[in-house]
Amino acid sequence: MLNVRSFFIFLLLSFVALQAGVVYAEDATQARVHKIKAGFLFNFAKFATWPPEVTPSNSLLMCMWGESEFKKYFQAFSKRVIKKKKVEVRYVATTKEVNGCHVLFVEHTLGESKIRRIYQELREHPTLLVTDIVSGGVINIIPGGKLLRFEIYPDRASRARIKLSSQLLKLAQIVDGE
């Protein structure tokens, strides 16, 4: 009786340990995805040029719209330097708060229809709108390859008066049109 009970306890503990390993693997993969997204965003800002009237200060404002674990990775941009400008981080929840943002990352958690409305409102605003849904902004970080890839809409960047470097464009999937 004791051996059968011990065996079932062992099986139960093994199952729990196995599930914890699966959760850990998912968490590790999600952390890796967040790090890649953060790297993409930082480099997008490095390879973008805004109209002179947009960047008169000594800072580059990176904004985020959405709530998730990615926030802590996004916060890491604070006090970094891009093109001799100190990076500042701001969290926004309305298009009115976007004024002054050089880069705006809008998370998929807001929903596709809301992200498309945000793009429509800001499409002529000189903000590099980056999303993590297909065709959501000027640049979209999307699943592909081993983890992530990105697509760029050059016409959308032109409409916002943002120039993207040819080096960045070479690495992207280019999408024509609006």
Query: Residue 57: which residues within 8 A CB-CB, separation 6 or more?
Result: 85
pTM for this predicted structure: 0.83
Tell me whether residue 128 is in a domain: yes
Tell me whether residue 36 is in a domain: yes
Buried residues in 25-55 as b, exposed as e (16+ CB within 10 A): eeeeeeeebbebbbebbbbbbebbebeeebb
Tell me whether residue 21 is in a domain: no
Tell me which amino acid residue 109 is.
T
* CATH number of 67's domain: 3.40.50
pLDDT per residue, tens digit, the chain (178 aa), is 554 444 333 333 333 333 333 334 448 888 899 999 999 999 999 999 999 887 667 899 999 999 888 888 999 999 899 999 999 999 999 999 999 999 999 999 999 999 999 999 999 999 999 999 999 999 999 998 778 999 999 999 999 999 999 999 999 999 998 7
Task: Please give the residue range of the domain that contains residue 153.
Answer: 31-174
Considering its fold, how many domains does the chain have in total? 1
Q: Cα dihedral sign for 37, 111, 150, 27?
A: positive
Tell me whether residue 82 is in a domain: yes
Distance from C-alpha of 91 to C-alpha of 95, rounded to nearest angstrom: 11
Tell me whether residue 22 is in a domain: no
User: Kindly report the CA angle at 86 between 124 and 30, in degrees rounded to 5?
Assistant: 75
Tell me whether residue 146 is in a domain: yes
pLDDT score for 25? 43
Distance from C-alpha of 148 to C-alpha of 91, rounded to nearest angstrom: 24
Tell me whether residue 11 is in a domain: no
Tell me whether residue 141 is in a domain: yes
